[in-house]
A and B are shown apart, each in its own frame.
Chain A
Amino acid sequence: NAGVTQTPKFRVLKTGQSMTLLCAQDMNHEYMYWYRQDPGMGLRLIHYSVGEGTTAKGEVPDGYNVSRLKKQNFLLGLESAAPSQTSVYFCASNTGQGLDSPLHFGNGTRLTVT
């Protein structure tokens, strides 16, 4: 049981390039989330999904797209990377069964956009 796995762990992009971050969970969780973490800003929610085939915007969705084609996977895409997207990205998941359901996080993807 690996929990939440994120790939890649590190990536350097040039401005304008695109990439996809992959999140996989093996806990059969319904809900999945993408956060970014920047110094002094805490974790901010980018997008989330309440089930296979569904996505919704979080607090800072601009410049990102997501897809949830399979229940176990949640993809975060950057179509045209900008230096402001340099950050650490965390994926999380939970059962979604009310407020009594902890989120479980992956170990992050460290992205640098030059």
Chain B
Amino acid sequence: DAKTTQPPSMDCAEGRAANLPCNHSTISGNEYVYWYRQIHSQGPQYIIHGLKNNETNEMASLIITEDRKSSTLILPHATLRDTAVYYCIVRARTSGGSNYKLTFGKGTLLTVNP
């Protein structure tokens, strides 16, 4: 899987947009960018994913640069419950061809402040 680089921590004020960056300069053409988050003591929660185009769902928006070497996860109106570790993952088919696993890095701890 392509390596991803995220800042270890970020702060955001409640009600403001949280913009979480991720660099994935070695991404290949058929690799997807996934975002998950993990709130303390819970399992990872799927947020959003994309290949080339920007994506939006009820939780967040994903902006992928045209060269696909970086992306930004946007939480439009952060709440205290959005405090979590956010993982940016580039997902690729492994050499075996059938193993669609995810490789988690260390992520970004987002702290939403009142």
Contact = CB atoms under 8 A, between A and B. Distances in A.
B91 interface: yes
Interface of A: 4, 31, 33, 35, 40, 42-43, 45, 48, 50, 56, 58, 90, 92, 94, 96, 98-108
B69 interface: no
B43 A103 contact: no
B104 A48 contact: no
Contact of A98 (B43, B100, B101): B100
A45 B49 contact: no
B97 to A, nearest CB: 11
Nearest to B45: A105
A42 B44 contact: no
Given A33-B101, A103-B44, 19 more contacts: A35-B104, A42-B107, A43-B44, A48-B99, A56-B99, A90-B44, A92-B43, A99-B91, A99-B100, A102-B34, A103-B46, A103-B102, A105-B43, A105-B46, A106-B43, A107-B42, A108-B41, A108-B42, A108-B43
Main secondary structure of the interface of B (DSSP, over half): loop
Contacts of B27: none
B106 interface: yes
Interface of B: 30-32, 34, 41-46, 49, 51, 91-93, 98-107
Task: Choose among A31, A100, A102, A108 the residue with the greatest number of B CB atoms under 10 Å from its CB.
Answer: A102
B44 A105 contact: yes
A100 B101 contact: no
Contacts of B101: 33, 45, 48, 58
A42 B43 contact: no
Nearest to B32: A99
